[in-house]
């Protein structure tokens, strides 16, 4: 059937409209694609160029040089040494075990180190360099370099590692570094990407730990070209980052070395030397000590076992961590509490018959026969316990505790060393909170002679001696400057105490050492203008009183001594504890005297500083000490102030 003209025209018109719509749509899509292509090629060209670069260029972190640590005179205490090491790339080595066997024919590698390297090789990608052995000699590096053609995939390398040139002398002060561990990452609130670098070293103890962020520095970076598999092809650029801050401490290396050597004669001991004028800690000694370099390099199981199983506890920083009954070194504070409360006069005497009775219990004096009539000066000179039993009953524990805290007992000082203890300065509130019971008068009597619940560290006792000598609330300071910026002296304000009361106590301490009936008379200084004032102490570690010679070493009394010198114009204060050393007058006082004289003299004290009948003995003692002779001053550090 033939279509009429109108139907044909209508169909053509419909087709034309559809063609126009379809053509318009096609033109629209083409225009949109063109616009998008222009946007991507022109307007977003930089963005896509960067993404393309990311496919072939990687950024790698560069560990910065760790900040250095110096003593007050610029002697390096912690530095960075070149670490010669041997690395292996598995894909270049082929048969890894065969390659390592050939390497061991050239240089010695112990089995433990080899096992550790094989484990690391198995964990890493085949193109990642793995350290086989480190801290090698230059001779080892040269031997590997000469034999390089026979050692495919094995190459020598060099980096930086921590070194402590004075090893044991500052182990407890500086601490040590070690590779960052999963435990470190879990406890540190630190998102620094440096911590993700394998074997990156961070501070583990001491100043190294407390000043970690300052010493660490800021990461550098290098731009490297890699292929599709991620293998490094070439280095395109490098930024070495910012080295860590240098620290200068207040300690003095020669004095520290002498202190450590002198303490070592006492088996297990600690001492703190403090400048009474500004609070600078000049020496913080512990015996026995340990070599921190062993921890940096990876201490062996046997070496670590020797340290942890040693009954003299070489890993413990006894000077700041140890909390001991202060014994009679505490008596000056009891006397000051009584004087300050108006409950004691200097001329008043107490009769000592060898004990006091409280209820059905006798509190004995160390001198069984008693001291007779005792005034304040004589009570310190001869360390009469009965005198302080009487004062404790008059004054009460709360006043004693308040005075003791004024002198640093029971205070945790903010120092960059590990586990600084607050000790214990008890009072009525403390015992109620801690044990849920009331304070008894007998507890006050024990506290008055530095026993019972009272515990103090050698650091706190040194602060106490410094404050007694200076009459100020001086605070201990260990860090002198950070990158040349001085750390301020804190707490040099006068104590809120009557100067006459302080003078009475100082006179008693002078009599302890310089009166022929004083408990430390044998440890006097025989040199005009450099006389020492001090106080002996003996603290019991068991309740039953028996001779120290009749019990094992660990059950013997602790020996303590605190002092300052010169008496007329104090400069230095010292505290010494000899663990289980017996009497403070025989074990601790001679050590403190030697340390103070070294501090005053700046070197081994002259023999004429000692009583004439002791000079031969002292000369032999000095000859037996293991003293360093190679202290080398260095630069005082960079300054970014």
How far apart, in whole angstroms, are the C-alpha atoms of residue 69 and residue 72?
10
Residue listed under structure tokens 């400069």: 571
- pLDDT number for residue 29: 76
Structural domains of the chain, with CATH = 55-75+166-249 (3.90.1310.10), 253-300+316-624 (3.40.710.10)
Q: Are 247 and 237 in contact (CB under 8 A)?
A: no
Residue 80: name the closest of 298, 300, 315, 296 by CA. 296
Q: Are 186 and 302 in contact (CB under 8 A)?
A: no
Identify the active-site residue in 328, 418, 470, 539: 328
List the structure tokens of 456.
Answer: 């103090």
Angle between helices 589-601 and 253-263 (to 10 degrees): 160
Q: How confident is the model at residue 595 (pLDDT cuts 50, 70, 90)?
A: very high
Query: At residue 80, does pLDDT exceed 80?
Result: yes
Which contiguous run of DSSP H or E holds residue 350?
A: strand 350-352
- pLDDT number for residue 309: 94
Q: Compute CA distances 335 → 35, 304, 340, 375, 399, whole Å.
A: 93, 46, 9, 11, 11
Average pLDDT value for the chain: 88
Distance of CA 39 to the CA centre of its chain: 60
Q: Please name the residues in contact with 97: beta carbons below 8 A apart, sequence gap of 6 or more.
A: 118
**By percentage, how much of the chain surpasses pLDDT 70?**
88
Between 191 and 77, whose confidence is greater? 77
Mean pLDDT of 416-427: 95
Q: How confident is the model over 466-522, as pLDDT tens digits?
A: 999 999 999 999 999 999 999 998 888 999 999 999 999 999 999 999 999 999 999
- pLDDT number for residue 537: 96
3-state helix, strand, coil in the chain (%, to 5): 45, 20, 35
- pLDDT number for residue 46: 64
Q: How confident is the model at residue 639 (pLDDT cuts 50, 70, 90)?
A: very low
How far apart, in whole angstroms, are the C-alpha atoms of residue 282 and residue 595?
11
Alpha helices in 176-270 (DSSP H): 182-187, 206-210, 212-216, 253-263
3-class DSSP assignment, residue 489: coil
Q: Are 377 and 504 in contact (CB under 8 A)?
A: yes
How far apart, in whole angstroms, are the C-alpha atoms of residue 167 and residue 293?
7
Q: Are 468 and 505 in contact (CB under 8 A)?
A: yes
In a 13 Å sphere around the CA of 14, the CA atoms on its Cβ side amount to 6
Kindly report the pTM of this predicted structure.
Answer: 0.84
Q: Which DSSP string do the residues of 165-184 spell out, in sequence order?
A: TTGGGGHHHH--EEE--HHH
List the structure tokens of 356.
Answer: 């006091």
In a 13 Å sphere around the CA of 80, the CA atoms on its Cβ side amount to 16
Q: How confident is the model over 377-416, as pLDDT tens digits?
A: 999 999 999 999 999 999 999 999 999 999 999 999 999 9
Phi (first) and psi of residue 587, to 5 degrees: -100, -35
3-class DSSP assignment, residue 70: strand
Long-range contacts at 192-195 (CB < 8 A, ≥ 24 apart) = 192/216, 192/219, 193/61, 193/219, 194/61, 194/63, 194/64, 194/219
How far apart, in whole angstroms, are the C-alpha atoms of residue 406 and residue 611?
36
Lowest mean pLDDT across 436-450, 494-508, 627-641: 627-641
Query: At residue 638, does pLDDT exceed 50?
Result: no
Query: At residue 69, does pLDDT exceed 70?
Result: yes
Q: How confident is the model at residue 60 (pLDDT cuts 50, 70, 90)?
A: low
The 8-class DSSP code of residue 588 comes to I
In a 13 Å sphere around the CA of 506, the CA atoms on its Cβ side amount to 23
How far apart, in whole angstroms, are the C-alpha atoms of residue 502 and residue 62?
58
Secondary structure of 597-632 in HEC code, one letter for each residue:
HHHHHCCCCCHHHCCHHHHHHHHHHHHHCCCCCCCC
Q: Please name the residues in contact with 497: beta carbons below 8 A apart, sequence gap of 6 or more.
A: 336, 340, 406, 471
How far apart, in whole angstroms, are the C-alpha atoms of residue 474 and residue 465?
11
Catalytic residue check, 328: yes
Mean pLDDT of 220-244: 71
Between 212 and 29, whose confidence is greater? 212
Query: At residue 17, does pLDDT exceed 80?
Result: no
Query: At residue 133, does pLDDT exceed 80?
Result: yes
Which contiguous run of DSSP H or E holds residue 82?
A: strand 76-88
Burial annotation 283-292 (CB, 10 A radius, 16+ → b, else e): bbbbbbbbbb
Q: How confident is the model over 305-348, as pLDDT tens digits?
A: 999 999 999 999 999 999 999 999 999 999 999 999 999 998 89
How far apart, in whole angstroms, are the C-alpha atoms of residue 569 and residue 273?
16
Mean pLDDT of 121-138: 79
Q: How confident is the model at residue 7 (pLDDT cuts 50, 70, 90)?
A: low
Query: At residue 38, does pLDDT exceed 80?
Result: no
Q: How confident is the model over 554-592, as pLDDT tens digits?
A: 888 999 999 999 999 999 999 999 999 999 999 999 999
- pLDDT number for residue 636: 44
In the chain the first and final C-alpha atoms are separated, in Å, by: 105
């Amino acid at each position: 059937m033939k279509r009429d003209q109108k139907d044909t025209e209508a169909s053509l018109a419909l087709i034309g409209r559809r063609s126009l719509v379809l053509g318009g749509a096609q033109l629209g899509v083409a225009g949109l694609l063109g616009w998008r292509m222009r946007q991507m090629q022109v307007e977003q060209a930089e963005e896509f160029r960067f993404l393309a670069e990311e496919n072939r260029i990687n950024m790698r972190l560069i560990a910065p040089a760790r900040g250095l640590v110096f003593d007050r005179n610029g002697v390096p205490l912690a530095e960075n040494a070149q670490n010669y090491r041997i690395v292996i790339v598995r894909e270049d080595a082929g048969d890894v075990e065969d390659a390592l066997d050939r390497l061991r024919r050239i240089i010695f590698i112990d089995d433990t180190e080899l096992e550790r390297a094989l484990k690391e090789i198995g964990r890493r990608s085949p193109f990642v360099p793995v350290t086989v052995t480190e801290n090698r000699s230059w001779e080892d590096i040269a031997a590997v370099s000469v034999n390089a053609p026979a050692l495919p995939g094995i190459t020598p390398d060099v980096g930086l590692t921590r070194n402590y040139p004075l090893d044991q002398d500052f182990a407890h002060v500086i601490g040590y570094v070690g590779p960052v561990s999963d435990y470190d990452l879990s406890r540190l609130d630190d998102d620094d990407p440096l911590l993700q670098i394998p074997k990156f070293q961070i501070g583990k103890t001491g100043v190294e730990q407390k000043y970690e962020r300052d010493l660490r520095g800021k990461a550098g970076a290098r731009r490297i070209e890699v292929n599709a598999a991620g293998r490094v092809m070439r280095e395109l650029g490098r930024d070495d980052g910012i080295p860590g801050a240098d620290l200068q401490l207040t300690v003095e290396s020669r004095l520290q070395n002498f202190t450590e050597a002198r303490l070592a004669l006492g088996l297990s001991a600690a001492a703190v030397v403090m400048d009474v004028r500004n609070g600078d800690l000049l020496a913080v000694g512990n015996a026995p000590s340990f070599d921190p370099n062993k921890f940096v390099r990876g201490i062996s199981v046997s070496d670590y076992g020797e340290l942890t199983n040693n009954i003299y506890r070489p890993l413990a920083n006894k000077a700041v961590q140890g909390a001991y009954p202060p014994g009679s070194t505490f008596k000056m504070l009891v006397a000051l509490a009584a004087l300050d409360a108006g409950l004691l006069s200097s001329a008043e005497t107490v009769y000592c018959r060898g004990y006091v009775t409280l209820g059905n219990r006798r509190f004995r004096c160390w001198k069984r026969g008693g001291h007779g009539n005792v005034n304040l000066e004589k009570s310190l000179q001869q360390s009469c316990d009965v005198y302080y039993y009487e004062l404790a009953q008059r004054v009460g524990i709360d006043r004693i505790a308040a005075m003791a805290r004024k002198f640093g007992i029971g205070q945790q000082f903010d120092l960059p060393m590990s586990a600084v203890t607050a000790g214990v300065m008890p009072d009525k509130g403390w015992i109620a909170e801690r044990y849920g019971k009331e304070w008894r008068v007998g507890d006050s009597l024990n506290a008055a002679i530095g026993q019972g619940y009272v515990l103090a560290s050698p650091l706190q006792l040194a602060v106490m001696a410094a404050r007694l000598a200076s009459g100020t609330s001086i605070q201990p300071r260990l860090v002198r400057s950070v990158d040349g910026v001085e750390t301020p002296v804190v707490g040099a304000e006068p104590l809120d105490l009557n100067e006459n009361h302080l003078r009475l106590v100082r006179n008693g301490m002078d009599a302890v050492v310089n009166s022929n009936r004083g408990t430390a008379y044998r440890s006097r200084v025989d040199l005009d203008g450099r006389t020492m004032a001090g106080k002996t102490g003996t603290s019991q570690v068991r309740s039953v009183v028996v001779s120290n010679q009749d019990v094992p070493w660990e059950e013997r009394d602790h020996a303590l001594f605190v002092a300052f010198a010169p008496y007329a114009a104090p400069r230095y204060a010292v505290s010494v504890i000899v663990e289980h050393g017996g009497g403070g007058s025989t074990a601790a006082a001679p050590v403190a005297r030697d340390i103070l004289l070294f501090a005053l003299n700046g070197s081994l004290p002259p023999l004429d500083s000692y009583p004439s009948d002791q000079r031969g003995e002292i000369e032999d003692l000095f000859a037996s000490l293991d003293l360093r002779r190679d202290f080398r001053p260095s630069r005082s550090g960079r300054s970014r102030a």
